[in-house]
Structure 1
Amino acid sequence: MPPESRNQAPRSSPRRNTEGGALRTGISSLEAFYQITRRVGMAVDINEALIRFLHALVDLSHAEAGAIRLLGEDGQLHLVSSVGLDDDMVYRERVLPSGSCVCGHVPGSRRVLFKEDLSGCLETLQRPFLPDTAPGNQGVSMIAGGIDHRGQEIGMFNLYVSRAHLDVYRDYEEFFSTVGKYMGLVVDKLRVAEEVDRLSVSDERTRMANELHDSFAQTMASVRFQVRVLDDTLHEGNEELLWESLEKIESSLDEANDELRELIAHFRAPVDEQGVVPGVVRAVERFRRYCDIPIFFQRHWPDKNLPPEYELQVVRIVQESLANIRKHSQAKTVRVLLQGNDLGEYRVLIEDDGVGITPEVRKPGNAGEHIGLSIMKDRARRINGKLSIESEPGEGTRVLLRFKAPDAVARS
């Protein structure tokens, strides 16, 4: 629903009197259509597109005023914009039942209507269409056209024109029908774009929720459990166990702080438009700062940049793998290897010699201990890659990502 119709009526823009009436002075329908598409093409959202369309149509037709409405989810027509109409009339007409009158015409009937006599409308409204200062309230007729897409009406436009020239406008009936269909296509396209943006935001929120759940939230749950143990220890009066519990809580809080720092780093742009290698270097350096496990970094990576989405997912997989090693592996050595060639074939290897992935972690439904494995696999799928995880208890873990650059996929 257009935002203007939710709380208050939109104010009518002043009539912009341009030179000549393009349609009335013989401009071709093709030229008029081109001028409308040129103006509408500069819009960034639905409301702006409809406003630009209305102003262009009013200018080209040399109409006294105009209005444009979209069909809302409630089945009513909501005023998006108006030009040259009386403000009080705009307020009263901000929402109309579909098909209630000529202003609410068109769902179901894909004709352009030309209504010569508006005296009945003026009597019903008890207000003029045009401001009191404007001439010709009694000599105004209306053109009502539908905005439709694939046979379905999604809105309509009204033009208030001189009754003396109504027959001239009738010659442009096909033009008014065509621009209505064009605007239906534009509205549908922009709605799809808005839905894609909405789903993209929702998807990113899901990613953030997964990462919070699989790291920081799990550590805080461990702290909560340790606080309960501390409470029991206090009642027992065992000072040695008390200090041991306090040290565990302190260690867990340090771990939570480290994880929070890592998450903040993850949610910022991890590659800073510099490529995969700088992002992985930062991840390795961060690992060294917060962990005593020796880590070796090797790279044989082309200078050619990958698409931003590819770079982001590769860096995130390395970051999450290193976070898992730090928290779970008890490893003595870690290695990170980046390999790529001029054919666009890439390998990313993260391996350790720790305790490996235990059977408990591999159990289906073990949401608290799956250490981000499903998240990493999801990241690999987003770049059409394959992620393999090899691990046996006591023999460490080997995470291998293989993928091809988009241009290499196109060539294969």
Structure 2
Amino acid sequence: MMKQTGPHVYPTSPTALNEVGSLVADLSRDLTVGGDLQTLLERFLISIIAMAGAQAGAVRVLTDDGQSMRLVGQVGLPPPVVLSEQLVDRDCGMCGVAVSNDVLGWVDDVRSCARKGSDAYFGLQCRRVLAISLPHGTDVLGVYTLFFERDSQLSPATEGMLRLIGQLLGLTLHNARIERERLRVTVMRERQDMVNEVHDAIAQTLAYVKMRLPLLNEAMLAHDDKRAMKYFSDVKSAVGEVHDNLREVMTYFRTRMDPLGLLHALQGMAKTFSDRNGVALEIRNSAQNLNLTDEQEVQVFHIVQEALANIAKHSMARHAVVAIEKSPQRLEFLIEDDGLGMTEPFVSTIVTTASALEPSRHLGLEIMRGRAQRLGGSIEMERNEGGGTRVRLVVPVRSFPPEAHA
């Protein structure tokens, strides 16, 4: 026979409430700092079992599909029972009632529990079971169960306390679920950041080395020692950059920004761009103060760097310009060249719809899009009216810190 009480919480003494609050607060804190859920719940159950005068206890949570309940912690149950109770149907007995409705319910006839296993636990060592919901808001996340060896009776105040514990534990499990999701998203973001940094700091330089090696080979075959030494020096310098950048990525998960800022970094790039790629690069800046944070400067620099790398690899251009303009509403970066222009798949292609792009370019454009989103801005590619390609990065001024704090 099953008996259940509704969601009313019975009043309890301030001392008992403090004990309950302290118990659940400890559990919540330990879960937040990354403690093992099973170990923490078993410590929690030991205190609850003692409080209720039970002999064993268990905590079950709904699986992601909501069809079953998974055992996540237990104290005092025999090994055969633990094995048979690892996963049960969501509608199994009083536990099923408790996980479908916010209730506290007693099971006086434990024969239904005994049907799941051959162990003689139910009906002998355990004669009565109490199931308490673990609610959060309008949802029930699971159930915790107490097992009694005799027909124990609990006072309304104790039952109320146990229900309050269920509510607090439901909140704790909800917060733990949010924390796990936050951690998962953080790990995925860090992995993507790692890919971005490797691409920006290493892949572009290796592409430059790849272009230089055939020239080095030709010069060697032609016995042109002057050209061969130049290309050898270029490759040696680039490999040194890759080595340094790789060490930085491995150490910091990111490459360092020029300590003198974005404009200095762009001017430094302009000085070496022509020698390395045969494309004259001009920086035109009409903004007196970019007023960007360090993180914003890193994102903008890598976007410009990727756009220029595409010019060097694909455009056959002779001249490129990075123009910086600032208005009260936005900061705009234009990267233009006088090369061959975009091939058909690139026509009117905005980076957010880059599915038709060639695989070799797709990753770089997707990374540029992601960086632009972090800036709260937008990025697009289009043909230049006079030939070549234009990349426009626009970032709202409202995303910048006030100039007074620059």
Q: Report the TM-score, using the length of structure 1 for normalisation.
A: 0.60
- Structure 2 unaligned regions, length at least 5: 1-11, 211-217, 223-230, 350-355
| Cα deviation digits, residues 338-371 of structure 1 (max 9, x gap) | 7999x9x88464645x424625253254546867
Shift of the 388–99 alpha-carbon distance from structure 1 to 2, 3 Å rule, reads closer
The letter for the 1-side match of 2:166 is G
Pair 1:67 & 2:55 matched: no
Quick one: distance in 1 between partners of 2:16 and 2:300? 53
Equivalent pair of 1:148/1:154 in contact (CA under 8 Å): yes
Q: Does 1:327 align with 2:313?
A: yes
**1:296 and 1:336 in contact (8 A); partners too:** yes
Aligned-residue CA RMSD (Å): 5.5
* 2:35 aligned with 1:31: no
Displacement of 1:100 after TM fit? 2.6
Matched with 2:376 is 384
Give distance in 2, aligned partners of 1:57 and 1:318: 57
Q: 1:126 aligns with which of 119, 131, 138?
A: 119
- Residues 1:96 and 2:88 aligned together: yes
| Deviation at residue 407 of structure 1 after TM alignment | 6.4
State the partner residue of 2:28. Answer: 41
Q: Deviations over 1:239-273 (max 9, x none)?
A: x9xx99xxxxx99xx8x99999899688973354x
The AA in structure 1 aligned to 2:304 is V
Is the 8 Å Cα contact of residues 131 and 145 (structure 2) preserved in structure 1?
Answer: yes
Question: Quick one: which amino acid aligns to residue 17 of structure 2?
Answer: L
Partner of 2:69: 77
- The CA distance in 2 between the partners of 1:73 and 1:346, in whole Å, is 44
| Shift in CA distance, 397/159, structure 1 to aligned 2, threshold 3 Å | same
Please state how far the C-alpha of 1:285 moved relative to its aligned partner: 6.0
Question: Does the residue aligned with 1:145 lie in a helix, a strand or coil?
Answer: strand
1:148 counterpart (129, 135, 138): 135
Q: Quickly say closer, same or farther: Cα 1:304–1:286, change in 2 above 3 A.
A: closer
The correspondence of residues 150-165 of structure 1 with structure 2, limited to 5 A, is 150-161=137-148, 163=150
- Higher mean Cα deviation, 152-161 or 193-202? 193-202
Is 1:89–1:127's contact at 8 Å kept on the other side of the alignment? no
Which of 58, 72, 78 is the matching residue for 2:46?
Answer: 58
Aligned length: 354
Contact 2:376–2:395 under 8 Å retained in 1: no
Deviations along 1:262-301, whole A, 9 cap, x unmatched? 99688973354x6885688678767877861555678976
Which one of the candidate residues 296, 299, 303 is aligned to 1:313? 299
Residue 397 (structure 2) aligns with: 404
| Displacement after TM superposition at 1:67 (Å) | 0.8
Give the one of 161, 166, 172 matched to 2:153.
Answer: 166
In the alignment, the residues of structure 2 paired with residue 101 and residue 198 of structure 1 have an alpha-carbon distance, to the nearest angstrom, of 34
In the superposition, the TM-score normalised over structure 2's length comes to: 0.61
| Paired position in structure 1 for 2:170 | 184
Matching residue's letter, 2:158: Y
Opposite residue 404 of structure 1, the aligned amino acid is: V
The change in CA–CA distance for 1:96 and 1:366 in structure 2 (over 3 A counts) is closer
Distance change in 2, residues 1:146/1:155 (3 Å)? same
